[in-house]
């Protein structure tokens, strides 16, 4: 089947396989070994690896450099790019930089507000927003043009992604906001971490009813909980997160030393259930600073070995 880009992620999805992506957070320092180690742990278990872009507004090694590192290792990076820190010049410039290393996937985000991070007194840019960034990449790729209208020599070939929060309110725009991202040019979606399965399934039904599942590949976001404490933190402190009480209770009801294992169980059970949901095209497993658990999760969900597509 023909794809629009050389992206392995796009090829896997186009071939009708459930895709598996994961993410690595770059280090707060310049040691490349941190990324190399994380990537080695998961390389055979995922189709592509997102590199976060100064997530939670904490200054880290840049996503682009870490993506290049992955590419040089033979992995498939997904360049996460937030509109918080760069204006349209820098965004387009970094896209070209990534394209020069044949990075074929990008995830367009607005980014957490800087007040959460280590530079709370800093400015934010937000020259364009995440939807406009998706539009920009599509224009650069499909029309071979800069925002300013000039022609790009050797345009980027990137499979364009965006994030979605199935639990967001107001309710009226839960699906329209996805429709808008699709209209802006998003070809794959990685969702917010899913713990409330019923609510997610409800959302997927609305997405399917509107036919959006045929226009965009939805990868369900999964983050295993390490402890009841983490579940409570996610529930109460992380903006936009929907963690049902029974998930917190299930973890809290068992001894501390067993909670991590139970967190993995919850994650695997959820993935097994969501595999069957119409419109779910794969999973984005975000095991935060717990990358070593990704292989187990992927195996237990029956998603290993990964299809060999190239």
Partner 1 sequence: MIVADRKPIEEIIGEIKDKKNILILGCNECVTVCEAGGKKEVGVLASALRMNFLKEGREVKINEITLERQCDHEYLEEIRDVIDQYDAVVSLACGVGVQFMAEKYFELPIYPGVNTCFMGVTEERGVWTERCQGCGQCILARTGGLCPVSRCAKRLFNGPCGGSSQGICEVSKETACVWHLIVEQLKVLGQMDNYEEISPIKDWSTDRAGGPRKVVREDVKK
Q: Per DSSP, which regions of the chain are E strands?
A: 19-24, 48-51, 77-82, 105-109, 159-164, 188-193, 217-222, 280-285
Q: Please report whether residue 240 would count as binding partner 1 according to CB under 8 A.
A: yes
Would you call the peptide bond into 170 cis, given omega within 30 degrees of 0 as the criterion?
Answer: yes
Nearer CB in complex with partner 1: 127/202: 127
For position 232 contacting partner 1 by CB under 8 A, the verdict is no
> Does 147 contact partner 1 by CB under 8 A?
yes
Say if strands 48-51 and 77-82 run parallel, antiparallel, or are unpaired: parallel
Query: Can you tell me the distance from the alpha carbon of 196 to that of 167, in angstroms, rounded to the nearest whole number?
Result: 9
The interface region with partner 1, picked from 5-13, 41-49, 162-170, 285-293 by CB under 8 A, is: 162-170
Does 103 participate in binding partner 1 (rule CB under 8 A)? no
Tell me which of 16, 74, 149, 239 binds partner 1, using CB under 8 A. 239
Task: Let me know: does 251 contact 225? Beta carbons within 8 Å.
Answer: yes
User: Which one of 41, 58, 152, 168 is in contact with partner 1 (CB under 8 A)?
Assistant: 168
Query: Do 96 and 152 meet the contact criterion of CB atoms below 8 Å apart?
Result: yes
Q: What number of other Cβ atoms are within 10 A of residue 9's Cβ? A: 27
- Residue 170 touching partner 1 (CB under 8 A): yes
Q: How many chain residues interact with partner 1 (CB under 8 A)?
A: 37
* DSSP annotation string for 153-210: SS----EEEEEE-TT-SSGGGTTHHHHHHHHHT--EEEEEE---HHHHHHHHHHHHHT
The verdict on 135 binding partner 1 (CB under 8 A) reads yes
**5 touches partner 1 by CB under 8 A:** no
Cis peptide before 213 (omega within 30 of 0): no
Mark residues 186-215: x for contact with partner 1 by CB under 8 A, - for none: ------x-----------------------
User: Around 6, how many Cα atoms within 13 Å sit in the side-chain half-sphere?
Assistant: 11
Report d(CA 282, CA 159) in Å as an integer.
Answer: 15
Q: Does 184 bind partner 1 (CB under 8 A)?
A: yes
89 touching partner 1, by CB under 8 A: no
Spell out, one character per residue from 114 to 133, where the chain touches partner 1: x when CB under 8 A holds, - when not: -xx-------x-xxxxxxx-
Q: Which of 63, 92, 110, 223 binds partner 1 (CB under 8 A)?
A: 110
Beta-sheet pairing, 48-51 with 280-285: unpaired
Give yes or no for a contact between 13 and 279, defined as CB atoms under 8 angstroms apart.
Answer: no
Q: Tell me the closest approach of the beta carbon of residue 187 to partner 1, in angstroms.
A: 16
CB of 166 to partner 1, least distance (A): 10
Stretch of 111-119, 148-156, 204-212, 290-298 lying at the interface with partner 1 (CB under 8 A): 111-119
Q: Judged by CB, which is closer to partner 1: 88, or 300?
A: 88
Q: Which residues bind partner 1 (CB under 8 A)?
A: 83-84, 88, 110-113, 115-116, 124, 126-132, 135-136, 147, 163-165, 168-170, 172-173, 176-177, 179-180, 183-184, 192, 239-240
């Amino acid at each position: 089947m023909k794809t629009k880009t050389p992206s392995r992620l796009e090829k896997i999805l186009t071939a009708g396989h459930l895709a598996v992506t994961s993410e690595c957070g770059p280090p707060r320092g310049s040691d490349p070994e941190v990324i190399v180690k994380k990537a080695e742990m998961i390389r055979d278990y995922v189709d592509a690896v997102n590199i976060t872009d100064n997530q939670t507004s904490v200054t880290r090694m840049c996503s682009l450099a870490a993506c290049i590192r992955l590419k040089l290792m033979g992995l498939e990076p997904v360049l996460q790019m937030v509109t918080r820190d760069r204006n349209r010049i820098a965004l387009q410039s970094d896209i070209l930089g990534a394209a020069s290393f044949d990075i074929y996937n990008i995830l367009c985000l607005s980014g957490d507000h800087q007040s959460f991070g280590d530079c709370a007194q800093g400015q934010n840019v937000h020259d364009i927003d995440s939807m406009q960034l998706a539009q920009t990449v599509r224009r650069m790729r499909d029309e071979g043009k800069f925002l300013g209208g000039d022609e790009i020599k050797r345009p980027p070939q990137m499979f364009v992604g965006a994030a979605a929060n199935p639990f967001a309110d107001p309710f009226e725009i839960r699906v329209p906001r996805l429709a808008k991202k699709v209209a802006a040019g998003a070809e794959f979606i990685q969702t917010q971490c899913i713990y409330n399965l019923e609510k997610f399934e409800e959302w997927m039904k609305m997405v399917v009813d509107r036919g959006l599942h045929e226009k965009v590949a939805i990868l369900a976001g999964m983050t295993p909980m390490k402890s009841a404490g983490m579940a409570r933190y996610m529930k109460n402190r992380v903006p936009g997160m929907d963690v049902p009480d029974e998930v917190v209770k299930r973890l809290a009801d068992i001894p501390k030393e067993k909670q991590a294992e139970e967190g993995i169980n919850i994650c695997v059970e959820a993935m097994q259930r969501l595999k069957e949901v119409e419109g779910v095209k794969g999973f984005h497993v975000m095991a935060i600073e717990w990358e070593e658990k990704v292989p187990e999760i992927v195996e237990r969900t029956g998603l290993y070995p990964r299809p060999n597509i190239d």
